[in-house]
Amino acid sequence: MRLIVCPGSAVETLLAREPVDHVLALVSPDAEVSARAVPATVLRFNDIIEPRPGLVAPDAEMVHAIIALGRELPVDATLLVHCFAGVSRSPAAAYVLACAASVRGDELAIAQRLREASPKATPNALMVSLADEILQRGGAMRAAIAAIGRGADAYEGDVIDWMLSGSARP
């Protein structure tokens, strides 16, 4: 599967120039999501790593939905994943999808590849932790993201273009 990760501001441009089979939008509960010509999955939650009054934290059901989407799409599909800034939620989803498509033990290599692809990425730690439990990685995903550290301060993240395939590395 081809995985394109971007901030919300890049979505329309990418959709106009790239053949995209599905869009995964990770947006705040009150965010507007425009209708698109391609199928879309919209998950609504705030970019937080612990519960806070008045905000919606990512939960296991949402992470299950991300993993299921990655498994349901054909191997030759292109999935565009975006959040508002492309720094936390969408890189976390990319990391989760890559780990779900990989063998155990690849978590650190995938995290390092994410850091190389986007020096600004700071994957949402709660999403990663939930995925670590769901994928039964015994803390390896959490440790790998902690090992790459926080990304560079940025208003928006980089566009990431990855190829995922079966149990191969992204």
**CA angle, 44 as apex, 38 and 48 as ends, to 5°?**
135
Domains along the chain with CATH numbers: 2-158 (3.90.190.10)
- Residue ranges for the chain with pLDDT beneath 70: 35, 37, 165-170
Supply the pLDDT for residue 164: 86
Q: What are phi and psi of 25, to 5 degrees?
A: -105, 125
**For the segment 26-75, what is each residue's pLDDT rounded down to a tens digit?**
999 999 887 676 889 999 999 999 999 999 999 999 999 999 999 999 99
What integer pLDDT is reported at residue 134 of this predicted model? 98
pLDDT of the residue at 16: 93
